[in-house]
Each structure stands twice: as C-alpha cells, then as structure tokens.
Amino acid sequence: MLDAKSLPVTADILAEGRRRQNAGEGAAILDEVVWWLRTFVAYPSVEALNAHALWIAHAHAMDCWHSTPRIAFLSPEPGSGKTRALEVTEPLVPNPVQAVNVSPAYLFRKVGEEPAPTILVDEIDTIFGPKAREHEDIRGLLNAGHRKGAVAGRCVVRGKTVETEELPAYSAVAIAGLGNLPDTILSRAVAVQMKRRSPNERVSPYRVRKDRPRGLELGERLSAWVASVADRLESAEPEMPPGVEDRSADVWEPLIAIADAAGGHWPDLARVAAVAFVAAAKESTPSLGVRLLEDIRNVFSKCGYEQIPTANLIASLIEIDESPWGDLRGKPLDSRRLANLLKAYDIKSRSIRLSGGGTPKGYRLEDFHDAWARYLVSLPESPQHPQQATQGNVLLASNVAGAEKVTATTASHPQHEKPINIRTVADVADVADVHGNGQAAPTGTFTALMPCSVCGERCHPGDHGICLLCEKGG
C-alpha cells in the first residue's frame, strides 16, 4: 500500500501546492485591504467596499489586462468621503500620482514612465465640468487610457522641426468629484455613489504620519501576492455572471480574475458586486434619446394602436408625468426636434393615410421594434384596451388654426392593424406637423381626454360640453 510519503513529488504537485497557498494568502490579504478601507471610509454598500479592494489589487497587475476599469467616487454634495477614499487608496497602489491641478504635459509624461503609475484624480468635476475647456487633453487621456497599448499623439517642436510623438496613455485611474461624469467615462468605470455619513456611521480619522506606514506595508504584501499569481491572471478568462456582458464585462473581468485567484469567498463577492453595479447602472438616468424611446413605447403600449400621428404622439409625450418633453430648454418638444432625436435610431416619420382623406405625418409601431430591442431593457406588460372603437376612431385637432378634422374607421384598416388612437389637442395656436408641413409646436395646454357618455370615446369636449365626435354626449 502506498502512503503519502512514497508518492513522487512532481513539479505539477509543487505548483498546485503553491497555487493553493497563494490563493489562501490572497483571500486573507484582500480581507485586510477591506478592513483598512472600512476603517477610514463609510461606503454606501458592501459591494462598493469589495469593488474598491479588488480595484486596488488589479492596479498591481496592469501588464496582465487588456483593459483597465476606472473607479469613480461621485456624490451630489461635498463632505461625502470621496477625497478620503483616494487618500486611503494612495499607500496601497503602485507608484501613485495625485493629479490635482496638474498640467497635461506633466500627466502625459508621468503616465509614460516605468514602472507605470496609478493616477488619482480629485475634483474631477473641474475637468469634466461645462467650463473646463482648458482640460481637453486630460479628458482625452482619461477617455483613451483604459485600453492596453493606447497612445496619445502630440506634435513636438524641436528647433525648427515639428515632429510627432506618441505618449502611452494606458494606466490605472481612480477619480473623485461632485456631480456626474460623461457616459464615455462612466461606461468604463465602477461608479461608487458616495453619501454623507449618517449619525450612526463611525469611521476613524486618517492621519498620514501614523496610518500611512501601515498602509504602505499592506500595499507591499498585496503587490507580492499579485506578482505570485501574475501568470494565472494574464491567462485568466473568468466566467461572467448573468447580465454582465459587452462593456460591463470589460470593466469587471480584471476584478473578477483577481477574486478567482484569491479564492475563498472572494469569487462570490466579486460576482455579487458586478451584478449589483451593472444593475444600478441600468437604472440610472438614461440619455434623452433612450428616455424618448421608452416613453414612446409606453405611449404605444397604452393606446394599443399600430400608428400615431405626430401631433398626437407629441401631445401624449408631454402629458407624461415628470417627463422632460414639455420643457426642452424653454420650449416644448416639436416635430422637428422629435424627428432629429429619432433619426439617430433610424426611425423616420411617414404619411399615415386615413379613410377621411387626411394624410398626416406620423410614426408606425413596427419602425420602433429594432431600437426598443437594442436600447431598452425589457418590454412592459401589454395593457388591456376594453374600449375599442364601435363607431370609428377619430384623430381630432380642435381650435387649431388651419387644422382639419381627420377621421378613420376601423373598416379602413387591414385586419392585422389596429385603429389609430384618439387624442385631442386643444387650445393650441398651432400643432406640430398635423399635416406633415414641418411646423414647430408652440407652447400650449394639452387637456385631459374624457370619455363621452354616449359614444364612449375619449375626447376633449367642445363648446357647451358637447362631444366633438358624436356631437351628442359630453
């Protein structure tokens, strides 16, 4: 019978033993990093704390990654712990450069040095704010430097000769500031939304003279462990949790690779954090175009029809509670602005032929399917429409200069097509693009649609409260 002592000790067995020892060591060191961070910083969530620890570890293995995520500490108000998060990061990362009020030339040449630095940028709102045009070079560096091999091209004058120069831009970057960041940065970052500490949250004050030496010692041990698993990190292809894909996968791949190499509970912690951050990013304020697509989808879902004239669509959008469409830089949404916003998604208005002889410009449901599938997360449930037309559905613009009554009966539509939704636009001097003439929609009041007591259709009552559709009820 063979016992353990009689087994041959091969290189593979030794390598596996070292791997397990390094894995246990890695989990313990990451736990120490977490302890260090939470001593001085109040994080908004456990996932944010774990993500910060993983990001710090990833900065010690920059040669192993094809893409590096930024970590951004943001808040709407000062005094939320953003600067402190950068301060306690500084002793743990390799070659830290605190980029506060630095010139672009200094920063570009610092990034190109060996060994590679870790850039810590505070007051990022002064760089990406509306009055920060003088920082275009730094913004370009932060935008491009996430990809390995990225360079920044510059012209250099040497004597009477102008030469081109390519400066490395790839580096680990942690940033902090008020407000928000452009999507070009946020989509490649772990964005931690910091908050002011509540009265029951306690942290220790960070004193550089006393605490920084302990942080440096921890950073050295972290660096040694990362170096011991560098070969494994370089070839790592970690499995991403569901929902973490495309650009989000680029952000989280290095952090999850670090967690897998550390072992213990860290692989699970990293994937939980990834799912939480990606879900939070999807729930954040969308762009104006995506908000428009979502609101138009809701309009189609509620009305149940396959085509909507432009004037009716605009009226429905403005009626949505807390929507921006009633005030876009002081003016309501009009047909021209609507067309320009939808043009980016390859959606165009078309003439809608109605049985009454009118051909207003409008939008068809089928033209939105591709954009909805690509840019919106999920489809809403289809609502019930108990009131389908019994006497015909009508698009009506009343009290509108130059507007005409346009009717369409259900018989005029193919069987696969639902009738046009009824909307009434009242008390408006001019409605955008009712007849496809490209006129802009001015300000006005879009009144609520009330069901008629006789025909049951929703419309705006005319003079003396008489229904403008059946001319009987009200």
pLDDT tens digits, one per residue of 93-118: 999 998 876 677 777 778 877 788 89
pLDDT at 75 over 70: yes
Q: Which of 278, 77, 263 is nearest to 179 (CA)?
A: 77
Secondary structure percentages of the chain, helix, strand, coil, to 5: 45, 15, 45
Q: If you average pLDDT over every residue of the chain, what do you get?
A: 77
Mean pLDDT across 336-356: 88
Same domain (yes/no): 200, 324: no
Same domain (yes/no): 143, 292: no
Q: Could you please report the per-residue DSSP string of 42-85?
A: --S-HHHHHHHHHHHHHGGGGGG-SB--EEEEEESSSSSSHHHH
Same domain (yes/no): 275, 353: no
Q: pLDDT band for 219, please (50, 70, 90 cuts).
A: very high
Output the pLDDT for position 454. Answer: 54
Cα–Cα distance for residue pair 138/134, rounded to 1 Å: 9
Mean pLDDT across 20-48: 89
Mean pLDDT across 127-151: 73
Output the pLDDT for position 19. Answer: 52
Residue 13 lies in a domain: no
Same domain (yes/no): 266, 312: no
Mean pLDDT across 34-63: 96
Determine phi and psi for 367, rounding to 5 degrees: -75, -15
pLDDT at 223 over 90: yes
Among 259, 283, 307, which residue terminates a domain? 283
Q: Most confidently modeled of 92-106, 219-233, 370-384, 427-441?
A: 219-233
Residue percentage of the chain with pLDDT more than 70: 72
Could you tell me if 394 and 406 are in contact, meaning their C-beta atoms sit under 8 angstroms apart?
yes
Among 283, 307, 334, which residue terminates a domain? 283
Cα–Cα distance for residue pair 125/273, rounded to 1 Å: 26
Output the pLDDT for position 380. Answer: 46
230: domain range? 18-283
Output the pLDDT for position 236. Answer: 92
Is the preceding omega at residue 115 within 30 degrees of 0, hence cis? yes
Same domain (yes/no): 318, 246: no
Cα–Cα distance for residue pair 183/145, rounded to 1 Å: 15
Cα–Cα distance for residue pair 255/190, rounded to 1 Å: 10
CATH number of the domain within which 245 lies: 3.40.50.300
Q: Most confidently modeled of 281-285, 421-425, 447-451?
A: 281-285
Q: pLDDT tens, 461-470?
A: 444 455 444 4
Handedness of CA 72, 78, 81, 85 (dihedral sign): positive
Same domain (yes/no): 262, 306: no
Pairing of strands 424-425, 458-459: unpaired
Q: pLDDT band for 124, please (50, 70, 90 cuts).
A: confident
Same domain (yes/no): 297, 441: yes
Q: pLDDT band for 7, please (50, 70, 90 cuts).
A: very low
Q: pLDDT tens, 81-91?
A: 999 999 999 99
CA distances 187 to 197, 282, 284, Å, are: 27, 10, 12
* Overall number of domains in the chain: 2
Output the pLDDT for position 415. Answer: 34
Residue 331 in 3-state DSSP? Answer: strand
Cα–Cα distance for residue pair 173/119, rounded to 1 Å: 5
Same domain (yes/no): 279, 292: no
